[in-house]
A and B are shown apart, each in its own frame.
Chain A
Amino acid sequence: MRREIPLAITFLIGVFMLVDFFVPHTAVTTSADELKQWGIIVIAASILLGIGNLVRVHSKKIARRNEGWGYSIITLTVMAVMLWLGLWPGAHLGPNEMIGTVEQGTPFNWMFLFMQVPLQSTMFSLLAFFIASAAYRAFRLRSAEASLLLIAAIIVMLGRVPLGQLLTRNLPEHAQLPWITETIMAYPNMAAFRGILMGAALGVMAMGLRIILGIERSYLGGEK
């Protein structure tokens, strides 16, 4: 029963959503739209589960005085403060339901703008340094294929900065780096990713069918 009911739910919901695609009747479409709303609510609960798990992991770390437990206190404290600012009964994040809207001038907005945004963009910009060493390893001229990778990367990097334009500004238009960059992005790059995309789509379709038909059950876990 613990495996059969979930398999039945997957099958019924999956088949109904497939029917929605092929039968554009109002009754079916309305029901499918409502089910999608249910899906959004359940996914929200799964994110809640993830955050609950984060709290549990850090709480355990603090309780057991594991290495770095002080940082866990910081994480939980700042999380509690941010949650209070965002969830207290009078909290209002924005005038509409667009994701990420935060009412200007609130403490929640202040923490988002002056803590979350700088931390996030700085964290990602750190990769600019580490990607250089990755580039050294990836771009060493070992073969013809590797040299193609190197040349394409250099052209795209130079073609997207003013220096690239400056270096080739006296050449004909089709020999200028910005034009070559755009051409690489629009043709060979697009062609390769289109091929990958088609392959991935076939994989997703096959996996979707396997899940709906109950052949693929790994998402239920190994327990009985």
Chain B
Amino acid sequence: MSWLQEFFTGAPGTTTAVVWGTWVGALLTLCIYSFLYKDNPFYKFAESLFVGIGAAYWLAILYHNTLKPKLFVALFPGDSGEPVLWYRVFPGILAIFMLLRFFPKLSWLSRWALAFIVGMYAAVNLTGFAQADFVEQIYATMTTPLTGGGVLSFILNLSAVVGVVAVLLYFFFSKEHKGAMGVAAKIGILYLMVAFGASFGYTVMGRVSLLIGRMTFLLRDWLHVID
């Protein structure tokens, strides 16, 4: 099979839907990359598609995964043999209240729904964060140096403990950062800088990885110039 034939019809065994899909995907990819030159109608077109498709996609997923099974089927199970969960009418009412935000005269009712969510997640986060991000983190910090693994491992673990304490002291503003406190805060800054640099590098590599993925798609799946 010649390159030109493969370019238009895809690799042997490829369905028409995939061939068309690859072309659409490739052209949309080029539309987005055209922004590297400057803002232009092709980019805006692709951007508009992205917003429209993204919003509709999530709405459909939301309907099929949440609203349909948890609300509509729960209230009207039909012939499925499932019991009617009559009390699901209350979140249904709250959901309607939430949508009343579109009507200025009744928009105050949306606060009831908002209050429900805020109250629930304030409590769930309060206990969740207290357990996972506070107590567990302190426990892990204090016990890590005792996990063994040789001298180097011990030193590194100990440096992590010093780092956590130093960073916490850096964020402690009730005492002026002078003397011993100033030294500890300075060490905290050093740890933070290393962490921010590492995170930046990690993010850059993540984006570059995505770029390589898109280039592979264009050169292999669309143009068939690499294997």
Q: Chain A interface (Cβ within 8 Å of chain B)?
A: 2-3, 5-7, 9-18, 21, 34-49, 51-52, 54, 56, 68, 71-72, 74-83, 85-87, 91-94, 97-100, 105, 108, 110-129, 131, 135, 138, 145-146, 148-157, 160-161, 174, 183-202, 204-205, 207-209, 211-212, 219-221, 223
* Given A79-B52, A184-B194, residue A18 in contact with residue B200 (CB < 8 A): no
Residue from B29, B53, B59, B67 within 8 A of A51 (CB atoms): B59
At the interface, is chain A mostly helix, strand, loop or mixed? Answer: helix
* Given A48-B99, A74-B45, A77-B52, residue A219 in contact with residue B118 (CB < 8 A): yes
Closest residue of B by beta carbon distance from A118: B25
Hey, which chain A residues are within 8 Å of B126, CB to CB? 18, 204-205, 208-209, 212
At the interface, is chain B mostly helix, strand, loop or mixed? Answer: helix
Residue from A48, A117, A188, A205 within 8 A of B198 (CB atoms): A188
CB distance from B47 to the nearest CB of A (A): 8
Cα(A204)–Cα(B122), bound, Å: 8
Hey, which chain B residues are within 8 Å of A14, CB to CB? 119-120, 122-123
Residue in B24, B35, B116 whose Cβ sees the most chain A Cβ within 10 Å: B116
Hey, which chain B residues are within 8 Å of A174, CB to CB? 152
CB distance from A36 to the nearest CB of B (A): 7
Residue from B87, B96, B201, B213 within 8 A of A152 (CB atoms): B201
Cβ of B51 and Cβ of A204 under 8 Å apart?
no
Q: Does B54 lie at the interface of the complex (its beta carbon under 8 Å from any beta carbon of A)?
A: yes
Cβ of B102 and Cβ of A52 under 8 Å apart?
yes
Cβ of A192 and Cβ of B116 under 8 Å apart?
no
Hey, which chain B residues are within 8 Å of A128, CB to CB? 204, 207-208, 210-211
What are 17 A-to-B residue pairs whose CB atoms are below 8 Å?
A16-B123, A76-B52, A79-B51, A81-B56, A93-B65, A114-B20, A119-B50, A128-B208, A138-B200, A150-B197, A188-B194, A196-B167, A197-B133, A204-B133, A207-B122, A208-B126, A219-B118
Cβ of A40 and Cβ of B66 under 8 Å apart?
yes
Hey, which chain B residues are within 8 Å of A198, CB to CB? 133-134, 137-138, 164, 168
CB distance from A63 to the nearest CB of B (A): 16
CB distance from A33 to the nearest CB of B (A): 12
* Given A82-B53, A146-B193, A149-B196, residue A12 in contact with residue B214 (CB < 8 A): no
Cβ of B188 and Cβ of A195 under 8 Å apart?
yes
Cβ of A45 and Cβ of B95 under 8 Å apart?
yes
Residue in A21, A113, A195, A199 whose Cβ sees the most chain B Cβ within 10 Å: A195
CB distance from A88 to the nearest CB of B (A): 10
* Given A14-B122, A41-B70, A148-B190, residue A100 in contact with residue B48 (CB < 8 A): no
Cα(A114)–Cα(B28), bound, Å: 9
Q: Which of B104-157 contact A (CB under 8 A)?
A: 108, 111-127, 129-130, 132-134, 137-138, 140-141, 152, 156-157
CB distance from B6 to the nearest CB of A (A): 18
Cβ of B99 and Cβ of A212 under 8 Å apart?
no
Residue from B24, B122, B141, B192 within 8 A of A211 (CB atoms): B122
Cβ of B214 and Cβ of A221 under 8 Å apart?
no
Closest residue of B by beta carbon distance from A8: B115
Cα(A126)–Cα(B207), bound, Å: 8
* Given A39-B120, A51-B59, A194-B141, residue A152 in contact with residue B133 (CB < 8 A): no
Q: Does B76 lie at the interface of the complex (its beta carbon under 8 Å from any beta carbon of A)?
A: no
Residue from B54, B134, B161 within 8 A of A202 (CB atoms): B134
Hey, which chain B residues are within 8 Å of A11, CB to CB? 119
Q: Does B182 lie at the interface of the complex (its beta carbon under 8 Å from any beta carbon of A)?
A: no
Cα(A190)–Cα(B195), bound, Å: 8
